[in-house]
A = this chain, B = another copy of it.
């Protein structure tokens, strides 16, 4: 069998599209952001990607009907200043380094076929503590893109992230650069302890401005409030008069 298999439901034409990747990762920031944008601009699924680099697993819907774990491709045709946008999101990233490389190579080949103009990869930047106003850090395939992104409020901070970027959000840039495909990574700050809608919102506000998209953030904000509620409850438990070692267990 093939390592990777795409099933197309439609094969749309694109004009200099933008590719936005948001797969599971730190705080699930990238996936949350990409999925919220897909919903907001009513992007349409046109393909599913299956691979033996994903876990051997099916997921169930509420009825009991299964689907194989996958990555999915959505598109939204441009309007006015808003360009054609293609989205890559999904259940998992590749399980092994080889799988990561093969999957990113596969996506890059599609991107070249579609004559993608620019790739945005979305992710979280785990800082190990709760944060009120997450910054959006950036990385790019060339210094001109760095300058452009600075103008959009993206923070480029020497030594952050110090260990580079691991996974699809990094590889699409790294392999893209070799192939001559321009790409930017936007990383929302996040504690990394929870699924983090606040980090996703920060990333989306920057991306929305770049792509000339109007986004309603209510849903993300309400998710963020729920998380805040949970974490503040946890804080209360954590700081009784006589703190105990066990109370910190949830961080582990």
Contact = CB atoms under 8 A, between A and B. Distances in A.
A178 B101 contact: no
A65 B146 contact: yes
Contacts of A171: 56-58, 68
B173 A141 contact: no
Greatest chain B CB density within 10 A among A5, A59, A142, A158 is at: A59
Contacts of A141: 65-66
A140 B66 CA distance: 6
Contacts of A170: 56-58, 66
Given A97-B56, A164-B59, A170-B57, A64 B178 contact: no
A94 B52 CA distance: 12
A251 interface: no
Contacts of A64: 138-140, 146, 156-157
Nearest to A70: B174
Contact of A101 (B1, B59, B159): B1
Interface in A177-213: 177-178, 185
The secondary-structure label for the interface of chain A is mixed
A179 to B, nearest CB: 10
A69 B101 CA distance: 12
Contacts of A146: 63-65
A160 to B, nearest CB: 8
Nearest to A169: B58
Interface string A132-166: 00000011111100100000000011110101111
A89 interface: no
A40 B115 CA distance: 44
B58 A164 contact: yes
Contacts of A46: none
Given A95-B97, A97-B52, A171-B56, A66 B156 contact: no
9 contacts: A1-B105, A50-B178, A58-B170, A58-B171, A60-B161, A64-B138, A64-B157, A67-B174, A69-B164
Given A56-B168, A63-B143, A66-B170, 11 more contacts: A52-B98, A52-B101, A57-B171, A58-B139, A60-B164, A62-B159, A64-B157, A66-B139, A66-B164, A68-B171, A68-B178
